């Protein structure tokens, strides 16, 4: 199974898990989703899945505040997934690329192994995006 296929499977599994949980509203129309603390993996996987599936610039623009909020989380794993989501958005939005490159460079030298690994993984993807036209 490829890495992308594994991420999609994990995201769909997290979404299915959330669908089976008790019917408590996790967001209102005016507020971004607020998953309970024990659903930290779901926060990360849903964020990455949303970034991978954001096709239009408007969708990517709406997702950006949620990604930025997750970049400030306490859990390192959620921040690492948010870094991946931000880099994925920046790969398709030229206006975000400089900021994403700075973030990736900063996190390549982080003391957190997860952040270093994610930054190393996303850097070539973002660099390749500079040569492609925006979709």
Domain boundaries, the chain: 3-16+37-129
Q: How far is CA 8 from CA 38, 39, 57, in A?
A: 21, 17, 21
pLDDT value of position 1: 64
Does residue 96 contact residue 130 with C-beta atoms inside 8 Å? no
Mean pLDDT, range 9-35, rounded to an integer: 53
Mean pLDDT, range 65-92, rounded to an integer: 91
**Higher-scoring residue by pLDDT: 38, 87:** 87
pLDDT value of position 17: 56
pLDDT value of position 127: 85
Q: Is the pLDDT of residue 26 over 50?
A: no
pLDDT value of position 35: 60
pTM of the shown model: 0.70
pLDDT value of position 13: 66
Contacts of 119 by beta carbon, 8 Å cutoff, 6+ apart = 83, 103, 104, 105, 106, 107, 108, 110
């Amino acid at each position: 199974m490829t890495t992308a296929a594994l991420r999609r499977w994990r995201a769909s599994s997290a979404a299915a898990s959330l669908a089976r949980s008790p019917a408590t509203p996790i967001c209102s129309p005016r507020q971004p989703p607020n998953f309970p603390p024990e659903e930290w993996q779901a926060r990360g996987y849903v964020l990455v899945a949303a970034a991978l599936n954001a096709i239009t610039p408007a969708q990517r623009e709406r997702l950006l505040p949620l990604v930025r909020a997750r970049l400030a989380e306490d859990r390192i794993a959620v921040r690492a997934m948010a870094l991946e989501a931000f880099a994925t958005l920046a790969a398709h939005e030229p206006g975000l690329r400089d900021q994403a490159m700075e973030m990736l460079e900063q996190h390549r030298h982080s003391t957190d192994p997860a952040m270093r690994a994610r930054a190393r993984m996303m850097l070539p993807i973002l660099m390749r995006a500079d040569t492609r036209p925006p979709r």
